[in-house]
Amino acid sequence: MAQVLVNFRMDADLKKDMETLCDDLGITMTAAFTMFAKKAVREQRIPFDVSVTSKPEPKKEVKESGMDELFTLD
């Protein structure tokens, strides 16, 4: 299987902490992110809960149209 290079930005402190964790686990960051990607693709979802802490306000256009009363964001 052909491999490609994937680049993304991350906070420097987070990267350092991730490197430490991966080292403690005996894996590389590449292996960790590959495991994440394989699990996400296999399960067709982000493999952990993703949520917001508060209910977001409807966008201005939705409020002005009155559609915000028809839908709940829960």
pLDDT digits (tens, 9 = 90+) for 34-59: 999 999 999 999 998 888 776 666 66
Whether pTM exceeds 0.85: no
Separation between Cα atoms, residue 18 and residue 23, nearest integer Å: 8
64 or 18, which is more confident?
A: 18
Q: Token match 């490609």: residue?
A: 4
What burial letters (b/e) apply to 46-61, b meaning 16+ CB within 10 Å?
A: eeeeeeeeeeeeeeee
CA-to-CA distance for 36 and 38, rounded, in angstroms?
Answer: 6
User: How far is the C-alpha of 72 from the C-alpha of 55, rounded, in Å?
Assistant: 9
